[in-house]
Amino acid sequence: MAPSSGAGRPLGQAQHLRKDRIAVAMKTFVCVYLGSTFLALVVTPLIIYVARCVHAFDVPGIRAVHTKPIPRIGGVAIFLSAMSLIVSVLFLDNRIGDAFRAVRWELGSLLCMATFIFLIGLLDDLRGLPAQVKLAAEVMAAGVLCYMGVEITNLHVIDNLVLNLGVLSCPLTVLWIVGITNAVNLSDGLDGLAAGVSAVACAVIAIFAVHSENPIMAVFMLALLGGLSGFLVFNFNPAKVFMGDCGSLFLGFTIASSSVICLTKSSALVGLALPVLALGIPIFDTFFSMLRRFVEGRSLFAPDRSHFHHRLIDLGLQQRHAVIAIYAATCMAAGLGLFMMVRQDAWSLVVFTCILFLLVLLFRVVGAVRFRETLAGLQAKHALACRQRREKRAFEHLQLCFRQAHSGREWWQAVCEAAQLLELAWVSLRTINPDGSIDTSVWRGQGAPAKSSRIVTVRLPITDVLGGRVMEVEIAVFVNGSLQSANHRAGLFSRLIDEYTSDKMIIMPDMLQITRPRHEEELAHSSATP
């Protein structure tokens, strides 16, 4: 008697059916990739023509490396070629078509949100949108996917370790999707860079999807890979077209969302680890860029010319060579990451950690990140923030002091206390009376704090309409190692003078100690307190 399978079917017949299913799946995968590639090759020249007609050009600027206007809505070709093949699979009368129709709601939500993000990017390419609007759209689209069930619920780290994210599943999913979307978007700085790196990521996720028997995501990634392959013919240096935000946002959002669905099906950490390694350079580039802007006190959305690819150009590499170098690093990281599919134990974590370390080391070698300078900048920023919090508390106390001042003497006492708490060098009130005489009131500190070698002086005019006098407050602020701190303290003192100085206080004759004018140099170098 012939051996039988669990369902009572002869083992030979079961193996034959399995081979048939694999053959059908492979034919579908190949047709999806080739069909998407062919469509991209046909559609991209048409998009270039349309972009020229509607004047959708990327004009060279201070951050650009190209020297002439280039059409920038090439992402439309990637979108059309990939979406056409993905939707066509829904009508196939085979196992993969059945799998697509079985998850039509989840699949439909992903396609709709990806289309929404594509339209946001296209609108930005044609009309321009603030970065905050694009970020809000990405968060909303990722939130919709979470609502439809596309979220990271648990992570199978190693054999006996499973992390259940619980209430953090939705926030972490949104953070993952938005982070990857912007990482791909920011990597679109050289001809063919974003398209090539995204192609590697799509290939890696497709391999993992096939390995974990997830044909839906395999079709998604192969359709994107085909569209990118055809598009790269026109996008590689020298580029005839750029993908623009419509392409980079669509790619980043779709890759991130697909990796979440892959993880949902297998729960293995490798489902997220492979996209992280394949997109490691854009991810670290985005992180280090935001960290650099934070340390420098700039907006996180501010333009920047210190990205990884810019550093390669500054080191003397030509644009084409810089892109090929990033391709090589990406393929190496992704290729090593594929070993994580072989074993689900602690060694997979070791491999993942080592590859991340190598990527960070690569950033350090090219000078895209300087750890000592960054750490020193973070420490200085923290110290400045602590100091400003103390100064704000002092300012709030001084507001009460000025509100309680009902005479010129009390007002001047409040000025002296403000000067002491805000660590000023001196304060001088200079008054020119209607008869031409000049009166000066001076407060002087007990000396400069340690490490102070510079002084910033500010003059604040005061209007005295009733008295008919010309009045001016001059303050000297110790720099204390930071012009920003001196400027902040000078601003707080100026607010006090501006908000709590009234005519009735100034014209009163009982002002504390009035001294006759002295030369400004004598005032600056005198150490006696009047």
Domain locations in the chain as residue ranges: 16-369, 378-525
Cis amide linkage into residue 530, ω under 30° from 0: no
DSSP letter for 10, please. Answer: B
Rounded Cα distance between 429 and 442, Å, is 6
| Environment class of 297 (CB within 10 Å of its CB; exposed 0-12, middle 13-18, buried 19+) | exposed
How many CA atoms, within 13 angstroms, populate the side-chain half-sphere of residue 488? 16
Place of tokens 């992704």: 334
pTM for this prediction: 0.77
Most confident of the following: 120-124, 445-449, 503-507: 120-124
Where residue 56 falls (left for φ over 0; alpha for ψ -120 to 50; beta otherwise) is: beta
More confident site: 267 or 408: 408
Helix spans in 279-370 (H): 280-295, 308-314, 319-337, 346-366
Give the number of residues written for the chain: 530
**Residue-level pLDDT at 163:** 74
For the chain, the average pLDDT equals 81
Distance CA 367, CA 314 (A): 10
Strands 469-478 and 438-444, how do they pair?
unpaired
In angstroms, the CA 456 to CA 487 distance is: 8
Across 304-328, average pLDDT: 87
| Maximum average pLDDT range among 136-145, 180-189, 334-343, 474-483 | 136-145
Which token pair is 209? 């999807």
- Report which of residues 16 and 353 the model is more confident about: 353
In this model, does residue 260 exceed pLDDT 80? yes
Most confident of 51-60, 266-275, 352-361: 352-361
Q: Which tokens belong to 430?
A: 């200079």
